[in-house]
């Protein structure tokens, strides 16, 4: 039916090589790396062999060229990425604290990413797309929400499907408008990719099974629940859950695990893989990506993920 598309921010990420608090002092850095949650998702999708296209905006600068070149190299259609000649590509400085939490210095919403518009190029990509992956965090941005909603309507009308990674714990608790947008997109969602308590939050039910049943009743056909080093489980109506244990790896940089998991899972399912196979590839993609510094540097091809699965044992609980 056409490629999987993702709409949202593309940015250059510069990472501290030491852990600590913030950027107030001069310190060794590494990067720039291509980044942005939607870009990580779509890069993994393309890299594993799925048809993929990105909708976003970069500046007419090296950070923009780096991002476009990476996505193109990995098989992503970049015709929906606008090159803005008035604003720079978004950027983020990231430093991990000793407890694993992160400090950021962002330049996003006064960058090209904050100036994303529905253009003829966007229209062309969306009207040929078969699947839209929605990032919950972007529902808080009115401009991106409008584009997401418009793309969702077009894709559903042509028989396409939608996946949603809610990624919205904090925002959902204190923002009624975001919750309303989430409810609207949930009505159109086919595949949900929650982690932690997002499943319960999305359904508005505190009991997990009640939440799953409520989401199935709303038309969701597949729930892939991510659980970090405990692996992931896929729930489908009327069938036993399918679980995959995580792979035992040394985590170097946790950024992008959930997005690589999602990109691999959606691409594999759309390529016709069974749930168990797609889930194994997704767990491998998430785990492989955390072994490499940089948000999408560890995204794997099908062959790289197969090799990774052979070389790494699973964590059993
Ligand atoms: P993010 O922190 O990127 O938002 P998430 O909460 O959406 O992530 P996770 O559950 O952290 O998603 O990661 C997705 C999948 O990636 C997990 O189900 C697991 O299979 C794999 N994964 C993530 N982190 C690790 C790790 N440290 N070791 C092994 N596998 C991992």
Q: Tell me the residue range of the domain where 197 lies.
A: 4-10+35-86+118-311
Residue 151 Cα to ligand 1 middle (Å): 28
Q: CATH number for the domain including 187?
A: 3.40.1190.20
Report yes or no on 94 lying in a domain: no
List, in order, residues 6 or more apart from 57 with CB less than 8 Å away: 10, 81, 82, 83, 84, 112, 113, 115, 116, 117
Q: Specify the pLDDT at position 172.
A: 60
Report yes or no on 230 lying in a domain: yes
What is the chain's Cα-based Rg? Answer: 18
Structural domains counted in the chain: 1
Tens of pLDDT, residue by residue over 15-63, are: 999 999 999 999 999 999 999 999 999 999 999 999 999 999 999 999 9
Report yes or no on 112 lying in a domain: no
Report yes or no on 21 lying in a domain: no
Q: What is the predicted ipTM? A: 0.98
Residue 123 Cα to ligand 1 middle (Å): 33
Residue 278 Cα to ligand 1 middle (Å): 15
Tens of pLDDT, residue by residue over 172-221, are: 666 788 888 999 999 999 999 999 999 998 999 999 999 999 999 999 99
Residue 116 Cα to ligand 1 middle (Å): 29
Report yes or no on 30 lying in a domain: no
Substitution site in 137, 243, 286, 311 for ligand 1 pocket (most atoms within 8 Å of beta carbon):
286
Residue whose Cα lies nearest atom 9 of ligand 1: it is: 228
Substitution site in 39, 228, 285, 299 for ligand 1 pocket (most atoms within 8 Å of beta carbon):
228
Q: What is the number of H-type helices and E-type strands within the chain?
A: 11, 13
pLDDT classification of 268: cutoffs 50, 70, 90: very high
The full DSSP string for 243-272 is EEPPB----S--TTHHHHHHHHHHHHHHTT
Residue 257 Cα to ligand 1 middle (Å): 5
Lowest-pLDDT range of 132-141, 184-193, 263-272, 308-317: 132-141
Residue whose Cα lies nearest atom 21 of ligand 1: it is: 286
Task: Tell me: pLDDT of 10 over 90.
Answer: yes
pLDDT classification of 109: cutoffs 50, 70, 90: confident
3-class DSSP state of 148: helix
Pocket of ligand 1 (CB under 6 A): 195, 226-229, 231-232, 246-247, 249, 251, 254, 256-259, 261, 283, 286-287, 290
Report yes or no on 245 lying in a domain: yes
Report yes or no on 19 lying in a domain: no
Report yes or no on 93 lying in a domain: no
Rounded Cα–Cα distance for residues 239 and 258 (Å): 24
Mean of the per-residue pLDDT values of the chain: 95
């Amino acid at each position: 039916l056409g490629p999987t598309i993702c709409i949202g921010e593309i940015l250059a990420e510069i990472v501290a090589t030491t852990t600590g608090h913030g950027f107030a002092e001069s310190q060794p850095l590494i990067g720039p790396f291509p980044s942005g949650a939607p870009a990580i998702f779509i890069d993994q999708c393309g890299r594993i062999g799925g048809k993929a296209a990105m909708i976003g905006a970069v500046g007419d600068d090296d950070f923009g060229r780096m991002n476009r070149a990476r996505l193109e190299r990995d098989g992503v259609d970049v015709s929906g990425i606008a090159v803005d000649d008035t604003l720079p590509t978004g950027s983020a400085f990231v430093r991990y604290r000793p407890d694993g939490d992160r400090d950021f210095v962002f330049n996003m919403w006064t960058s090209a990413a904050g100036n994303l518009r529905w253009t003829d190029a966007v229209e062309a990509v969306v009207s040929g797309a078969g699947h839209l992956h929605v990032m919950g965090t972007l529902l808080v941005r009115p401009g991106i929400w409008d584009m997401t909603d418009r793309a969702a309507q077009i894709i559903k009308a042509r028989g396409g499907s939608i996946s949603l990674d809610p990624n919205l714990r904090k925002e959902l608790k204190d923002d009624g408008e975001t919750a309303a947008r989430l409810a609207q997109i949930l009505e159109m969602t086919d595949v949900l990719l929650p982690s932690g308590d997002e499943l319960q939050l999305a359904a508005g039910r505190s009991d997990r099974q009640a939440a799953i049943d409520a989401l199935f009743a709303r038309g969701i056909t597949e729930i892939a629940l991510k659980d970090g080093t405990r692996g992931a489980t896929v729930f489908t109506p009327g069938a036993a859950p399918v679980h995959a244990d995580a792979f035992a790896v040394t985590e170097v940089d946790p950024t992008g695990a959930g997005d690589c998991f999602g990109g691999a899972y959606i691409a594999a399912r759309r390529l016709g893989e069974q749930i168990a196979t797609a889930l194994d590839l997704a767990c491998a993609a998430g785990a492989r990506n955390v072994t490499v510094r940089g948000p999408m540097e560890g995204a794997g091809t099908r062959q790289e993920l197969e090799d990774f699965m052979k070389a790494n044992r699973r964590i059993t609980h």
